[in-house]
Amino acid sequence: MLPDLIEYREWNKDPNVIQQKIPIIDTFRGKATEAIRQKGLANWALSMGRQQAGELTLQNHPQFLQNLKMPHLQSSTQQIDIAALDLLRDWERGIPHYNEFRRQYGLKQLIRFEDFIDPRLREDSPARREQEQLVKTLREVYGQHRCDESKQITKAQLNNDNSPINDYLGHPNGRMVLLFQKLNLLCSFSMLHADFSATAFLHRVFAQNFIVILGSSG
């Protein structure tokens, strides 16, 4: 797990002292050679050798990898979200969805965002509050969607009666539904980070195509 900042130390001073914190993004690609020449390989080795790896936990994906500059891209931002890209790669390699994993392990599947909250936690415990906050964030990211019969979502298949598959699958037009498919996305280690921009966009795009309707509010 990469941190965003390297705790830079120098071997010929006191190695216990962090001299400065240097963004990783300033030390790779074309900047790597200059960084090595300026600071010396021994200092970099010492700094990286002594640094603790990032904790494998939610909302701890390095931000520089979520907004990585890619000047050769022909896009408006010319940057890429590696977290989102990793999710995309997983789908294309056929990694089962989170709920499908649970089903195959014989575990109960989750059907609501609130199922992410551990019910054994006390109402006033900080851990529960943190989980509730995450669920709130998930709702904001995934949100809701209004069914639109006029929107055809695929040309690759038809319904059994040869009608086009529309948005969504026979539910009443105009009904509000939760976007709750792709639970693997919700739980992926790389997903629950501070900046949702491109990740959220990708999820919305995919949710449009792979949606399962699990609840409604209208």
Partner 1 sequence: MHNGPGPEKLEQGMPNGHQQPVSPLKRVLLRTLPELEGELAGVMNVFDPWARDRGKYYSTEWEPRRGAEGDSAFAK
- Binding part of the chain for partner 1, among 8-16, 143-151, 166-174, 202-210 by CB under 8 A, reads 8-16
- Binding part of the chain for partner 1, among 50-58, 179-187, 188-196, 201-209 by CB under 8 A, reads 50-58
Query: Which residues touch 206 (CB under 8 Å, ≥6 apart)?
Result: 91, 182, 185
- Separation of alpha carbons 82 and 190, rounded Å: 9
Candidates 1, 32, 36, 41: give the one binding partner 1 (CB under 8 A): 41
Q: Does 7 bind partner 1 (CB under 8 A)?
A: yes
Residue (18 or 95) nearer to partner 1, CB: 18
Residue (9 or 97) nearer to partner 1, CB: 9
**Hey, what amino acid is at 33?**
T
Q: Does 52 bind partner 1 (CB under 8 A)?
A: yes
Query: Got the DSSP string for 104-165?
Result: HTTPPPP-SGGGGS-TTS-TT-HHHHHHHHHHHHHHHHH-EEE-EEEEE--SS-B-TTSPBP
Candidates 3, 4, 5, 15: give the one binding partner 1 (CB under 8 A): 15
- How many residues make up the chain in this entry? 218
Q: Yes or no: say if 171 and 146 are a contact pair by the CB < 8 Å rule.
A: no
Candidates 1, 2, 11, 34: give the one binding partner 1 (CB under 8 A): 11
How many Cα atoms occupy the beta-carbon half-sphere of 131 within 13 Å?
17
Residue (50 or 151) nearer to partner 1, CB: 50
Q: Yes or no: say if 66 and 193 are a contact pair by the CB < 8 Å rule.
A: yes
Q: Does 169 bind partner 1 (CB under 8 A)?
A: no
Min dist. Cβ of residue 6 to partner 1 (A):
12
Q: Which residues bind partner 1 (CB under 8 A)?
A: 7, 11-12, 14-18, 41-42, 45-46, 49-53
